Amino acid sequence: MEQLPVLSILIFLPLIYALIVPFLPNEKRLLHTFSTVGSGLLFVLSVLFWLGTTKAGRPAAEFMTWLPQLGIHYNVGADNLSWVLVILTTFLVLMAVLASYTSIEKRLKLYYAMIFTLTSAILGVFLARDLFVFFLFWELELIPMYLLISIWGGPRREYAAIKFVLYTLFGSVFMLAAILGLFFIARSADPSATFAFADLSGVSATGLAVGTQVLLFLGLFTAFAIKLPMVPFHTWLPDAHVEAPTPISMLLAGILLKMGSYGMLRLCFGWFPEAATVLAPYLVLIGTINIVYTAGVALAQADLKKLIAYSSVSHMGFVLLGLGALNAVGFNGAVFQMVSHGLISAGLFMIVGTLYTRTHTRQIAEMGGFGKVLPTVYFFALLIAMASLGLPLLGGFPAETLVFYGAFLSNAFKVIPWFGGTVLTLSIQTLTIISAIGVVLGAAYLLWMLMRVFMGPVFPKWSDLKDATPSEVFVLAALSFLIVAVGLFPNLVSSQFEREVTAMAQPYSKMIAELHKATPKGQIPVISMMSFSKNEGGTR
Amino acid sequence: MDETTFAGLYQFGFWVFAATMVAGALGVVFHRSIVYSALMLLITFLSIAAVFVLLNAPFIAAAQVLVYAVGLTIVLIFGIMLTGDKPFVDPVGQERPNRFWLMPAVASTIFLGFLIWALLYPTMGFSGINGIFVSLMDPATNPATLPSVQAISTDGGITVIGQLLFSRYLIPFEVASILLLLAMMGAILLSKRTFPEEEGETLATVETIEPYAPQVNIEGNTPSLSSSHSEVEEKETLGVH
Amino acid sequence: MFEVGLYHYITLAAVLFSIGLYGVLSSRNAIRVLMCIELMLNAVNINLVAFNNFINIEDLGGQVFSIFILTVSAAEASVGLAILIALYRSRKSVDMERFNLLKW
Amino acid sequence: MSNAVQDLVWLIPVYPLIAFLIIVLGRWTGLLKPMSGSPFVILATALGLIHTLLFLGNWGPAYTAVEQNWTWLQAGALQLPIGYFIDGTGMMMLLVVTSVSLLIQIYTHGYMGHDPGYSRFYAYLALFNFSMLSLVLSSNLFQMYIFWEMVGVSSYLLIGFWFTRPSAAAAATKAFLMNRVGDFGLLIGILTLLYFSWTYWQGLDPQQLLSFSQMDGAARTALAAAGPVAFTVMAILIFMGPMAKSAQLPLHTWLPDAMEGPTPISALIHAATMVAAGVFLIARMYPVFTISPNAMMIIAWIGALTAFVAATIALTQVDIKKALAYSTMSQLGYMVLAMGLGAYSAGLFHLMTHAYFKAMLFLCSGSVIHGCHEEQDMRKMGGLMKYMPITGITYLIGTIAITGVLPFAGFWSKDEIIASAAEQPLLFMIAIATAAMTAFYMFRTYFMTFHGTYRGHGHPHESPKVMTMPLAILAVPSVILGFALSGFFGLPAFSQYVSFGHAHHHDPNLGVMGLSILVALGGFLVAWLMYGQAKVIDPARIASAFKPVHTLLWNKWYFDQAYGFFARNIYLSFASLSAWFDRTVIDGIVGLTAGTVNASGGAMRALQNGRVQSYLVIFFIAVVLLTVVLMWMV
């Protein structure tokens, strides 16, 4: 299995599909089957390759010199964390393709071509081991997504598509600056340094001043935060979701949000432990706001899809909370939340999609009594909503538990240093309690939505709707099966990436102790650590 | 007349001619009718000639009167006749006030301010390239030499100018002449009109070109007037029928 | 009044020049623009002759130069008028507003 | 054979799970006919009961606790275990749950026979059984939290079974939300406990995290680490879970609304099993509660107040199921009071007896409603004894049991609770008053439904055998159970098997026994006078005499209105405010940046307007500026 360039196949196979699709005869049934078979093959391949390489102890990695003089090389590799997300991606792409049967009618060729380009871009992001290649794929993913939203979207699709692109570009500007800054710092240390992850990850350990670390951290973090999305930068998500067609919003919520959190974990938290320790209080604070605030906003939404979009923003707040806990449990919780949220939000959007293809309206006020009319949809909606609620024995619960246990038991910070020397007496424990309140609020809007949409008397208008078609049922069943499996046996999933993620969290316990030790009694930790001067010698 | 009355007359003369010159200039710019502004121009030229006289340059004054006052004004009058001297009539009927006056006014006042500042500045001891100004402005260094009676009585410096023209300034002189030649050819070429066929047509049969009252639509430019088909139009109006 | 010196003539020339400038920039009729250009050129002439008179009366360089300016302005006026006539023929008007092709 | 039964005890909850999966997959694939599936569920519960009896059979005289743990989720230093743990309390709960749910499932066949959602109902019953049994078997607090929420969801599904009815949908959502609030408190309680006792758990085998067997050691370390005040707060936070689940005072309003669900589930969930789970959790977490006296005091007081308030509201109820619901709340208040006073075995004994006779009462009310064609209002019933003799008699037995008259079960368990409250005078008085009120409103419901003339239209008929047979079976424990385990005349005492710490057996306090019987008879007498044949006192006149009190009780102490107010005004306005903020402020900023870019573009466009003269203007100004700069620079 080693001689096979496994990762490159995975990345470029979808691109080949994208090239083949336009040359097929323009016949709906043929295009659907081709894409389904293609994405099915991709999914099977990704699982086989994973079992063949990393799982069997030989982590796959490929290297090809590309621009030696610039220090940029085609450097891809995959540890278990990337593999889990790759498989999640290929699975959700298969689901999206299946979901497109009923919801996409016009210009199918361009549609499938774009979906496969998007897949290869996302796989590239997860598998890249060279920061420049990572950035390249990060930007490549924008174009297909823009086209997908702006051509097949709803009434205000251009606005939503442009807003989506502008937000991400705004972020990637900072990311590019941070990438180049990091590269040149590495180059100044040793001239042979390239953009490879291996070279750049060691930079912070070689006595880089905390101030610069914080700046580089924030540079990278802004792009990832916008993608996450984090509260101040989140308004693109509801618009993009409301306007995007069902399969696209499944992909958008299922995978694209994970790119942000994956980047955060591997790049920001992986390479700048000191900066992460210094900034952890603020991350957790924003994470809590993310959970509670968007839960409140979601409750007041009249549009069903917007409600689901805000719920996924609120759930991604857990990732921030988990990462801010700066311990192995929190990190594992964050990664678990990525996986389970991917499945759950894809399922929720599939439900909204099935309702939309039948009723062509997303206003909750116009809906009602679907439980009687669409029993299968009601069954799956109930199951997936409960999972999103964090019900035990379903996907959401293990993630939430790990994040809460991790955050509550972490000693990341007792107080949040604020401007002008004042201090917010919010320890990570209080913030976790507030987030738990956010979860209860979350339960409120989901249950209220279920009540208004599915329960209650049957509306005369909707009395003659036909129940879910086989393809929709297959997608919902596959997603629900996985959600239940992950919920019942979480160790199956978490044991895959547990070793890598715990290794990532390993330096933090020492870092936190050092931070607390470095701050004399009563003095605010951040200010004293925030020196821009070069750290004296290797006290690391 | 003795020195002092002459000096007084000189002073007085300067202010009179300066006043008429400025009034004439303002007339040229602000008078509604183009013909009147042409006459105003004539007055300005004449007062400039008078000033030249005050500045011991009788030949230049004569040249000024000859070239400008007479030649140029006549040519301009011709121009006015050829292009119609009625003030622009806005489709609404009343003469459209000149909408764009603010910016030009600002620009010219700034320029005026700048010029005067450039003059005043040297007197305030500004060093640098204006060094010469400093000495120049100081009445102590060079008193104003009044046009001495004797200077006027001689040939007014014509001989000296003639000698200069053909000694130090010979090349500029020749270039100037070539310039004039070129200008003449250019003017003839530009204003030549192509007549479709020469014979049988006298100037009288050619209708005079009705001034085209511009119908200004909303965008501010007349729709039909794109340059592409102006020749066609021209042919029609000329149309030998 | 105080002694009329070089300074007066230069200020006079400056005033005349700005009036001419204003005329060029603001007038609607192309011919008036030509007239005002003439005014500006004459202002320059005054300056030259004034310098000649106040700085070095013997060396009549200033006056020679003003002659050259004379020729140039005459040439310019005639060519300007010719262009104006050609413009008038094609545009049937001399309104400066109408000549607005000089834009993207 | 014995260790096989013991090792496979975790199978007990798995039987209903398998039944659930069979029905769901069967119905989905169409293998199962629409109205079938109940045999699988009943078989599963029967297997559970048999397995429990077998396990009890060879559990041996010592009755030592059996425990087995596996790792459910491992991340970094944290290992969250899952497993089973059976001790006296656990076995008691197992017996109660399996037996009551078996009988109720048989009864449901009759009650739901003609309902189109028949198989869906049985699927939900199976799911509930699975969650409840796993909750009873769970070996640690984390696992109990998991099944705590699973039980909440099953009750949500069952209450909202007839979801086409808006009131049922609302009741289901309300029940689930209120349970979620309780679960939130429980979660934070668990986290704080773990936070303070982390060093203790590190010392143990990681699979023992939060396990009940090690709970006392952990409690002591936590108390030492946290200090009394924080420890009490943590204890109360953990108590918030049972508060919601067993409908204690602040979080109780969901229980009466839960009567929207079909009657069998009211019997199963809202009388016998689920609401008892709260008391079961207190029992499991007793080491934590006992070492903080003021936590115990708070629990006792909440229990007493709930009992008292529920009893007062029950006085004025006209809907038979609502009356029974409030009586359940009141009895639960008794159990919590007992736990708060340290009477561990008394509370659990009452839990056991209450489970049987309250389930029977609910099933009787079910058959009454079934008989009177879905009529729930007692004012439209009366004189049903003639039409439904078996239901009538079983209902009478239940009423006597609950009021605590001598030979019947209720007397023994309630008497022990009242006896344990003897030290605190105030609590004792509330207990006695509640006992009197219980007697009064229970006999009131009995007389209104079974005595006098039939006030409703239509002709009631006795329920089929499949419904009356479980009633008869349930009547047996309601009568003899109390006496059998009272410890008198050499009979085994309940506290021998189910007790906390040393199994002490204090001598029966005759004075209290006499007083409680007297009070019960008093309540019966007043009820008989008002509603019985005598009709001496006219209830309407009494109601008008105490007008304000009556309206207060009629409106259920205005709790619902208060929660409604909170939800509508505070919570919804927070939501709409944040929604508004999100739309205008954040999107506003985005719009602003786009707007400024657009506007500046427009302004620049005006500069290039094709007029030569405007270009000249710019030209001359530029000349001036340049020369000034040059002169300044030189």
Q: Cα dihedral angle (D136, D138, D140, D146), rounded to 10 degrees?
A: -90
**Is residue D613 within 8 angstroms of chain B, CB to CB?**
yes
Question: Is the domain of B93 the same as that of B15?
Answer: yes
| pLDDT tens string D343-386 | 888 888 888 888 888 999 999 888 888 888 878 888 888 888 88
3-class secondary structure, A424: strand
The subunits that touch chain A, with at least 3 C-beta pairs less than 8 Å apart, are D
Per-residue confidence (pLDDT) for residue B86, from 0 to 100: 65
Nearest residue of chain D to residue C98 (CA atoms): D611
Please tell me which of the candidates B25, B111, B116 has its beta carbon nearest to residue C16. B25
| pLDDT tens string A488-533 | 988 888 888 888 888 888 888 888 888 777 665 544 444 444 444 4
Per-residue confidence (pLDDT) for residue A249, from 0 to 100: 92
Does B168 fall in a domain? no
In whole angstroms, give the CA distance from residue A310 to residue D443: 53
| pLDDT tens string A417-455 | 887 777 888 888 899 999 999 888 888 899 989 998 998
Please tell me which of the candidates D614, D627, D628 has its beta carbon nearest to residue B103. D614
Does B50 fall in a domain? yes
Averaged pLDDT for residues A218-228: 92
> Which residues of chain D does B111 touch, with a Cβ-Cβ cutoff of 8 Å?
620, 623-624
Nearest chain A CA: its distance from D16 CA (Å): 16
Does C103 fall in a domain? no
In whole angstroms, give the CA distance from residue D548 to residue D627: 95
Interface contact flag, C25 D613, Cβ < 8 Å: yes
Interface contact flag, B230 C42, Cβ < 8 Å: no
Does C30 fall in a domain? yes
CA D123 vs CA A375, A386, D126, D130, D151: distances in Å: 15, 17, 5, 11, 14
Band of residue B230 on the pLDDT scale cut at 50, 70, 90: very low
Band of residue D145 on the pLDDT scale cut at 50, 70, 90: very high
CA A376 vs CA A370, A449, D568: distances in Å: 10, 17, 32
**Is residue C93 within 8 angstroms of chain B, CB to CB?**
yes
Nearest chain C CA: its distance from D611 CA (Å): 5
Per-residue confidence (pLDDT) for residue D349, from 0 to 100: 87
In whole angstroms, give the CA distance from residue D267 to residue D277: 14
Domain residue limits at B211:
196-240
Alpha carbons within 13 A on the beta-carbon side of A263: 33
Per the prediction, chain A carries an average pLDDT of: 87
Whether A226 has a pLDDT exceeding 60, the answer reads yes
Does B188 fall in a domain? no
Range picked from A410-414, D558-562, D596-600 for highest mean pLDDT: D596-600
> Which residues of chain C does D607 touch, with a Cβ-Cβ cutoff of 8 Å?
none
In whole angstroms, give the CA distance from residue B189 to residue B187: 6
Interface contact flag, C35 B76, Cβ < 8 Å: yes
* D251: exposed, middle or buried (Cβ count in 10 Å: 0-12, 13-18, 19+): buried
Please tell me which of the candidates B100, B107, B129 has its beta carbon nearest to residue D621. B107
Nearest residue of chain D to residue C102 (CA atoms): D610
Q: Supply D134's token pair.
A: 């796993």
3-class secondary structure, A62: strand
A 10 A CB-CB count for D295 gives 22
Nearest chain B CA: its distance from C48 CA (Å): 10
Interface contact flag, D578 A372, Cβ < 8 Å: no
How far is residue D107 CA from its own chain's centroid?
A: 22
Whether D2 has a pLDDT exceeding 80, the answer reads no
Please tell me which of the candidates D610, D616, D620 has its beta carbon nearest to residue C100. D610
3-class secondary structure, D69: strand
Per-residue confidence (pLDDT) for residue A1, from 0 to 100: 52
Question: CA geometry: angle at C22 spanning C17 and C28, to 5°?
Answer: 135
Interface contact flag, D177 A447, Cβ < 8 Å: yes
**Is residue B190 within 8 angstroms of chain D, CB to CB?**
no
Beta-bridge mates of residue A65? A73
Nearest chain B CA: its distance from D633 CA (Å): 10
Averaged pLDDT for residues A77-104: 91
CATH code where residue C89 lies: 1.10.287.3510
Helix, strand, coil proportions of chain A in percent (round to 5)? 75, 5, 20
3-class secondary structure, D67: strand
CA D264 vs CA A3, A11, A53, A444, D159: distances in Å: 65, 57, 55, 27, 11
> Which residues of chain A does D72 touch, with a Cβ-Cβ cutoff of 8 Å?
490-491
Question: Is the domain of B13 the same as that of B93?
Answer: yes
* C46 touches C66 (CB < 8 A): no
In whole angstroms, give the CA distance from residue C24 to residue D234: 89
Averaged pLDDT for residues D90-117: 88
**Is residue D612 within 8 angstroms of chain C, CB to CB?**
yes
Q: How many A×D Cβ pairs under 8 Å? A: 149
Question: Is the domain of B45 the same as that of B104?
Answer: no
The count of structural domains within chain C is: 1
* DSSP letter, residue A128: B
Alpha carbons within 13 A on the beta-carbon side of C82: 18
Interface mutation target, options B29, B99, B100, B112, chain D, most CBs of D under 10 Å: B100
In whole angstroms, give the CA distance from residue A293 to residue A288: 8
- The residue from B61, B77, B97 where one domain ends is B97
Of the candidates D68, D133, D122, the one whose C-alpha atom is nearest the C-alpha of residue D95 is D133
Please tell me which of the candidates D608, D615, D620 has its beta carbon nearest to residue C104. D608
Averaged pLDDT for residues D440-458: 83
**Is residue D632 within 8 angstroms of chain B, CB to CB?**
no
Does B156 fall in a domain? no
Domain residue limits at C94:
6-98
Of the candidates C36, C38, C43, C34, the one whose C-alpha atom is nearest the C-alpha of residue C20 is C36
* Lowest-pLDDT range of A15-29, A48-62, A230-244, D158-172: A48-62
| pLDDT tens string A246-275 | 999 999 998 999 999 999 999 999 888 888
Please tell me which of the candidates A232, A432, A494 has its beta carbon nearest to residue D75. A494
Interface contact flag, A163 D590, Cβ < 8 Å: yes
Residue showing tokens 């299946």: A98
| pLDDT tens string D198-227 | 888 888 888 888 888 888 888 888 888 888
Nearest residue of chain D to residue B121 (CA atoms): D631
Whole-prediction pTM: 0.80
Question: Is the domain of B52 the same as that of B26?
Answer: yes
| pLDDT tens string B126-141 | 444 444 444 455 555 4
Interface contact flag, D163 A404, Cβ < 8 Å: no
Question: Is the domain of B105 the same as that of B93?
Answer: no
Per the prediction, chain D carries an average pLDDT of: 85
Q: At what angle do helices A304-324 and A396-409 cross, to 10 degrees?
A: 40
In whole angstroms, give the CA distance from residue D609 to residue D259: 79
Range picked from A180-194, D142-156, D459-473 for highest mean pLDDT: D142-156
Q: Do chains B and D touch (3 or more CB pairs under 8 A)?
A: yes
Per-residue confidence (pLDDT) for residue A93, from 0 to 100: 95
> Which residues of chain B does D614 touch, with a Cβ-Cβ cutoff of 8 Å?
100, 103
Query: Which D residues 350-369 touch A at CB under 8 Å?
Result: none
* A17 touches A35 (CB < 8 A): yes
Per-residue confidence (pLDDT) for residue A113, from 0 to 100: 94
Per-residue confidence (pLDDT) for residue B204, from 0 to 100: 52
Whether B91 has a pLDDT exceeding 80, the answer reads no
Residues of chain C with pLDDT under 50: 1
* D103 touches D474 (CB < 8 A): yes
| pLDDT tens string A270-310 | 888 888 888 888 999 999 999 999 988 888 888 999 999 99
Whether D497 has a pLDDT exceeding 90, the answer reads no
Per-residue confidence (pLDDT) for residue B131, from 0 to 100: 44
Nearest residue of chain B to residue D625 (CA atoms): B114
Please tell me which of the candidates C21, C24, C96 has its beta carbon nearest to residue D611. C96
Interface mutation target, options D605, D609, D611, chain C, most CBs of C under 10 Å: D611
* D159 touches D258 (CB < 8 A): yes
Question: Is the domain of B104 the same as that of B145?
Answer: yes
Question: CA geometry: angle at D163 spanning D158 and D165, to 5°?
Answer: 125
Averaged pLDDT for residues D508-528: 82
Band of residue B235 on the pLDDT scale cut at 50, 70, 90: very low
* D167 touches D141 (CB < 8 A): no
* A80 touches A499 (CB < 8 A): yes
The subunits that touch chain C, with at least 3 C-beta pairs less than 8 Å apart, are B, D
Q: What percent of chain A has pLDDT over 90?
A: 44
The subunits that touch chain D, with at least 3 C-beta pairs less than 8 Å apart, are A, B, C
Per-residue confidence (pLDDT) for residue B153, from 0 to 100: 44
Does C93 fall in a domain? yes
Whether B94 has a pLDDT exceeding 70, the answer reads no
Per the prediction, chain B carries an average pLDDT of: 71
Question: Is the domain of B82 the same as that of B48?
Answer: yes
Per-residue confidence (pLDDT) for residue B162, from 0 to 100: 85
In whole angstroms, give the CA distance from residue A320 to residue A335: 11
Question: Is the domain of B73 the same as that of B132?
Answer: no
In whole angstroms, give the CA distance from residue A234 to residue B98: 53
The residue ranking higher by pLDDT, D27 or B90, is D27
**Is residue C104 within 8 angstroms of chain D, CB to CB?**
yes
Per-residue confidence (pLDDT) for residue B227, from 0 to 100: 41
Q: How many B×D Cβ pairs under 8 Å? A: 29
| pLDDT tens string D244-269 | 998 888 888 888 888 888 888 888 88
DSSP of A360-384:
---BGGG---HHHH-HHHHHHHHHH
The count of structural domains within chain B is: 3
Of the candidates D493, D490, D491, the one whose C-alpha atom is nearest the C-alpha of residue D504 is D493
**Is residue D605 within 8 angstroms of chain C, CB to CB?**
no
**Is residue B19 within 8 angstroms of chain C, CB to CB?**
no
Q: Supply D597's token pair.
A: 């870019």
In whole angstroms, give the CA distance from residue A336 to residue A359: 34
**Is residue B110 within 8 angstroms of chain C, CB to CB?**
no
Question: Is the domain of B90 the same as that of B131?
Answer: no
Does B187 fall in a domain? no
Per-residue confidence (pLDDT) for residue D505, from 0 to 100: 57
**Is residue C19 within 8 angstroms of chain D, CB to CB?**
no
Does B213 fall in a domain? yes
Averaged pLDDT for residues D458-472: 83
Question: Is the domain of B66 the same as that of B52?
Answer: yes
**Is residue D626 within 8 angstroms of chain B, CB to CB?**
no
Q: What are phi and psi of D73, to 5 degrees?
A: -145, 125
Averaged pLDDT for residues A211-240: 90
* D458: exposed, middle or buried (Cβ count in 10 Å: 0-12, 13-18, 19+): exposed
Question: Is the domain of B89 the same as that of B40?
Answer: yes
Question: Is the domain of B131 the same as that of B202?
Answer: no
Does B217 fall in a domain? yes
> Which residues of chain B does D613 touch, with a Cβ-Cβ cutoff of 8 Å?
100, 104
Nearest chain A CA: its distance from D69 CA (Å): 15
Interface contact flag, A332 D75, Cβ < 8 Å: yes
What's the full length of chain D, in residues?
Answer: 634
ipTM confidence score: 0.72
Does B125 fall in a domain? yes
**Is residue D66 within 8 angstroms of chain A, CB to CB?**
no
CATH code where residue B65 lies: 1.20.120.1200
Per-residue confidence (pLDDT) for residue B142, from 0 to 100: 47
Whether D185 has a pLDDT exceeding 70, the answer reads yes
Q: Supply A8's token pair.
A: 């490159």
Interface contact flag, D614 B129, Cβ < 8 Å: no
3-class secondary structure, D431: helix
In whole angstroms, give the CA distance from residue D121 to residue D105: 10
